[in-house]
Structure 1
Amino acid sequence: MDYLRIWADEDGESHLEEVTLERRVHPAEPGVAELWQSAALPVSALHVVTVKAAEQRPDWHCGPRRQFVVFRDGSTRIATSDGDERRLAAGSLVLVEDLHGRGHLTEHESGDRRVLVIPTA
């Protein structure tokens, strides 16, 4: 799995889907490990965010826009309205696409959590 996708169906029910990207091998430079690279994913910006998770009160919410989220440290629990949930380790990548409906629930490990938010183009 390369990233976890959160999406909503026509009825607003949110779901999780594990996505694996196709890769091509790029010749490595001398002294560099072989590179297996996916096609480019169009993005528009990068936001560096600190989540004050000690003060969190997790509640259901939709994504504000289509965006990738990278959880840089700590663990994060994501639940969807269909009853599915995942505990994600630091470094996990999520594509948020549930822009309508009930949304999803995000609960971070306590403390200051560092997150990258990358809106898609």
Structure 2
Amino acid sequence: MKCLRIYADANGESHFEDQDIPLTPLELFPGIPPIYLSAWEQAKSVRFGWVPAGLKVADWHTTPVRQFVIWLTGWVEFETSDGDCRRCEPGTVVLVEDTIGKGHRSRHPEEGQFNVFIPLGD
């Protein structure tokens, strides 16, 4: 499974990295084809969110905690401090780790969007 990672380097500049989260087949029920699951991630909690219509987050910002963010509806466009831009469609999983440094910018659709935040352990 593909995941986009946003992280800060030692100088505080933010960057993207494409990561692959390995999935392993697991037969949960006899006679039913297996499903594919990743290894467990230590999560603290889950939070659901609504980004209101017309929200503009054009300023640089860091993430408050290391977390997975999953967009359920709408798109988001990220820009890292190294000048790279990525557009993520609904269903995209992003590992946001730039808790220090300059951070990143994000742009959202006019109609608003739902997302899920999953803070991770260290």
- Tell me whether 1:104 sits opposite 2:116 in the alignment: no
Matched residue count: 121
Structure 2, gaps ≥5 residues long: none
Say which SS state the counterpart of residue 49 (structure 1) adopts: strand
TM-score normalized by the length of structure 2 = 0.90
Structure 1: which amino acid aligns with 2:67? Q
Distance 1:99 1:85 in 2: 19
1:87 is aligned to: 87
- Tell me whether 1:3 sits opposite 2:39 in the alignment: no
The percentage of counterpart residues that share the same residue type is 37
2:46 is aligned to: 46
Distance 1:53 1:101 in 2: 28
Q: State the Cα distance separating 1:55 from its structure 2 match.
A: 3.2
2:63 is aligned to: 63
Structure 2: which amino acid aligns with 1:113? Q
TM-score normalized by the length of structure 1 = 0.91
In angstroms, what is the RMSD of aligned CA positions?
A: 1.5
1:49-94 Cα distance to aligned partner (Å, 9 max, x none): 1111413242110111111101110111011011111110101111
Structure 1, gaps ≥5 residues long: none
